[in-house]
Structure 1
Amino acid sequence: MPGYNYFKKLTTQEVQISVGTTNLVNFPVLVRFTDNDLRHTSSGGKVTNLSGFDIVFTSSNGTTIINHQVERYNPVTGELVAWVQIPLLSATVNTDFYLYFGNATVSIDPSTTATWDVNYKAAYHLNNNILTDATANANNLTATGTLNEPVAIAADGRDIETVEKLQAPGNAGLLINGDITLEAWVSFETVQLVANDNLFISYGATGEVGGTDNQAYSFNYNGAGVSTNKLRMFWEHGAGVNDVVVSNATTTLVANTWYHLAAIRDNANTLVQFYLDGVQLGTNVTYTVPAAVGGTVATLQIGESHETSTRDIDGDFDEVRISNIVRTPEYIQATYESGKIGSTFISYAATACVPPDVSVAGTNQTICATTFTMAANTPTAGVGTWSLISGGGTITNSLSPTTGITALAVGANVFEWTITSGTCTSVSDVTITVNANPTAANAGSNQTFCVSSPTTTLNGNNPAIGTGTWSVLSGTATITVPNLNNTTVTGLTVGTHILQWAIGNGVCTISTSTMTITVDPASSIANAGSNQTVCISSPNATLAANTPTTGTGTWSVISGTGILTNSLAPNSTVTNLSLGTNILQWSITSAGTCSSTTSTMTITVDPASSIANAGSNQTVCISSPNATLAANTPTTGTGTWSVISGTGILTNSLAPNSTVTNLSLGTNILQWSITSAGTCSSTTSTMTITVDPASSIANAGSNQTVCISSPNATLA
């Protein structure tokens, strides 16, 4: 610290905070010791200001001044009682801070009420008849009776006999209806064996016995009654409505012993915690009605209840505090350990040091190499020395602030830069973290599949060093778990997708590898066209399949016969079809991995009809105008008789040997037609039946008789 000739290193002992691991922010620790170095120079010491104004404190870096408040300083003996606000008091490791002194230029008191955080609504040291509030809230006390108590916890305290009290005017800051922490150091002169007696702190309206001015909080120790030997907290909600909460464990408090007592109301969780000497007394005690309503602006009293002046105390007080938050168990324990008589919570160097330059080891670095050049400050006062605290590394020149470091180990390597001046040292650390090169990335093999299933599992290598991350370089894809080497990927569309598997480790160069996913389009749905029927006389057909938008179509003969003019053309012709059923298939095949689609059509080739033969012409007499026909029986097709000219009634027009009756005189032409069941043409043949007229009826005339002599006659 510029201008300060001496300093002492102080260290808190984290081992004494045993109830938890929560660090404490802006914690007011008690620094209390007598040291010859802290005497004024006129008394042989090294402090230059008679009031101790040149005493200051810094954080662990030795340069940042932190708040403190001096409660008592004796320039003759070197006694110092001061409260120092530690910005971050660790509950797991020791915390260093520094006391600087010996600056003749200082004339202004650095002591400040800012030592107490904004949640402290009142803090009373009670030292040497000083009843002022140590916080910035100025909730100063006045005394009814009471005396200074020269032997207390931090310095002096206050002796409060029965029917005596300390009192402060009420205000909105002290009217706390929610979370609250009440603390006090108390030494009973007499433990009163009366219920609701032994009153520590109370806030409400004087003389209140259940009216509208309610008590917001009250804290005492019951010496008798149903809650004998228990700590008690009390507050009201209106006339006749109140909450009384007592500890669920008893403790016997005795006279002439200093106790640190605390009551904490956690309004959000409707519970109260009681503490005795830094440790919770019993367990959490629940209550029913949160303290959302309570006392109106009234007064704060220490040592006497508002309800009746006979509820009082006979004892000594020191360090009374009121906060409007729930203080943590670590906070309460550290307060007790810091303040108790004979406390060893803080250790300090007995010898005053001439400050060397403040050590600045440099900024922590993360690298991907095994060598590094340090960048500590060059001391103008003192000698700097490098040392390895943890990890690995070889220091080339331990006295050089910019020495090289070789053979660094993977991980954190901590080096300490110590500047020494006489018996004094200033120390700081720097951490060089070495990241190992990541595992070489391998994205796995390329993949090709059909769009009908646009999901796949990737196959990147699992890194032994570093963390892998998948990303999409081109195309579209949704990666389910980007940091998983064998994650699934969905949402792939037709086309090419390039994915990258990158393995990184800290600041080291990222190793990358890519793979390609090709998604083939689905084949068009094949449609071979309608079935066809042709005649054997022309066993050919023109096909009519669909033209594919995706894939290639091919005709093939599945059954029957046929010669395809162009098997790749959807409208190819097919010849040489065989009689009967011929099945042809139109297959559309993808160029990639997608399945083919197929469709079939049938070409039926009908046989040709038999050649019709109506049989020979016939002639009949009109006297019997009937005939039996004699057409050929068809082997293919169906024969049918019909009368082309003339007349006739066919007995069975489908029978080749049908009879025909009622023929008319003259010429009657009949046709025998054989028709195919399919597409072939019919064949026909005709025959003629001639019906002759009947002969005239013969009449030879009358019989005659002639003589032999003229054996002649004329017929008539």
Structure 2
Amino acid sequence: MCPAAPFGYQYQKTLEINFNKVGEFVANFPVLVSLTSPESNELRTISNGGRIYSNNGYDIIFTDANYNKLDHQIESYDPSSGNLVAWVRFPFISNGANTTFRILYSNSQVTTSQSVESVWNSSYKGVWHLNGSDFTDATVTGNDGAQNNTNSITGRIAGGRSFNGTSSYVRMNSLNGFVRCDEPQTISIWARYSSTPSAIRNFVSFQNSGASSSVQVGFAGSLPQVWCWGGGNLVSYGTAPSSNTWHYYVYTFDGTKHRLYIDGVYQENTTAGQAGIPTEGNLGRYNNGEYYNGWLDEARYSTNTKTAGWITTEYNNQNDQIIGAGHFIQSISAESEYNSPSNFNFNVCTGASVTYSIPFQAGHTYTWTVTGGAPASSNANPVTITWGASGTGTIQLKDNNGLCDGNSQIYNVTINPQPSSPTLNTKTPNLAAVCDGQAVSATFNAGTGGVGCTDSYQYRFDGAGGWNTYTPGNNLNTSGHTSVEIRGQRSGCTAGCSGTGWTTLASWNVNSQPTAPTLNTKTPNLAAVCDGQAVSATFNAGTGGVGCTDSYQYRFDGAGGWNAYTPGNNLNTAGHTLVEIQGRRSGCTAAAGCSGTGWATLASWNVNSQPNAPTLNTKTPNMATACDGQSVSATFNAGTGGVGCTDSYQYRFDGAGGWNTYTPGNNLNTTGHTLVEIQGQRSGCTAAAGCTGTSWVPLASWNVNPNPILTSSLTPPSICSGTVFSYTPASGTGGTS
């Protein structure tokens, strides 16, 4: 036996054959291994929740307890359930001690069938499993069959075929490797019928029409029988097995005795056989006739005589496919990992050091051959390989047990670059800054390199605090925040790959929503100015927003179009009644989520006319002259125009001397005076308002005349009553009119 060198297989189970079910010490014995749930659960394919990579079960092998390879042949494998039917050749099986063996499985690089025809030693010249549509000979001989009008059924072992009794058969034509009918041989088959055949019916026949020679196994005269050409009985069975049950029929001839075994129990005869070498074989008939109505499975022909102990072992094995105490395979272990994870590590990073091994066996030598890594050769077990530049390397193990070599397959090792972080794919919006409330998101190009790595993403607000998991493409709400950051890393790698650190992939500063510019200086800083006064303003820039600009405009007189205004420029108020200056913040970057402001009034001035002096309202008396002692007074219409201006009044007597403050309406006493004057002015206007106060303007005046005086002569100066006199008048003085 040569070592299996099962390097690359990930899992194993250990099984044990019950020696009490072994009829005798047997060599080169093909054991049926039938695994169903729950024992087969791990043998499902990976896509079905199991361990197997191949949909055909190629990455399943068998070894003995010491990991020496056992030839096997898979008859049936179901990737969805993991159910497995396989034939495994054992160099020997003891009937004195249990036999332990292993099933190894899960190897990603096995892509071809590991089944071999050498399961059946050279004595076997035909093995027909009849599973599904398979009528080929499972041995190296190649005596393949072709069916006619049979149907697939659930057989005794995996699938079998049903025969209709009139036209169904499987024909092997021609035959190779067969011996004369009178030489040692063994024929076996499983059969089941619903009622006992009453006429001659063939389970299996091998014939040579030209030599009038045959061996036929089936029913004749309602009894199991083996007969030859012409119907001569070779051996018959005394009773017919029960209906609707599978039974195992085996015919042997050792050169003297013919034996017919049914379910391991035989009857024998010594009738001479015929001398022809079969050239044609049929299942379910003799060509052409004696058709069988029932089910058949697992037909075999070999050129040696199987012993009673061998046949008992076959029957116990094939008839009892349950695994458990008291059964042929009495135990199966739980799954265990075959050595260590590195044993199947064929996807690595450049620079990775990986240890490979298989369980050490005493007396074995191990040779590793490596490309793409160092060392290139080693006899260590385990061996540590440091993989080089990215690309494809190889590794193979040769295991020698002192008798022969066992070579693993050459495994390709994918050497990956060390991981690189994910990179930004799209940033929405693709701006350095956004406005408060604008949703932001990002998608990414996956990181590269490494083995088993995953890309992770996190975000945080305001440049501080904990990070949160981010799902690419999800919107983040910026309301109430000043910044958003998203970072990524490639990590969780295996096979000696170093994950990357966190890398910032996208970020946005978050600005407040735009606010309009505000007034800085207003010149003059007054609510009103006088006509002709230049006005101007400067402003504090607006705040917030992204890419926004501040704009200014002015207009006169509260109507008409607006004009662009440059801060600090003078505006001439001449001929106007009102000046307004507005500002706004707008033109913000598209997609930044910024709402520009509306126009807001920042500065305005009412424009007043230049000051006009007060005017006379009432003059009392309203005469140019007054008599000495006459009181005079005046009231006035207030002056107009100007900003912050006041009206002042003053009076004086006699056209000379100082002026005195006059309160409108107050009486002035003219006694002893010749002239009264009252004058007014509008002055004291607000500084910087551009208002020119008036000079003093005469508002009222009176010339003051003496009171009237009359001078005359009376002759005589005095008279008595009744006396005649004369009067001569003279011009009077003083008075008015």
TM-score range, shorter chain: 0.3 to 0.5
TM-score by length of 1: 0.45
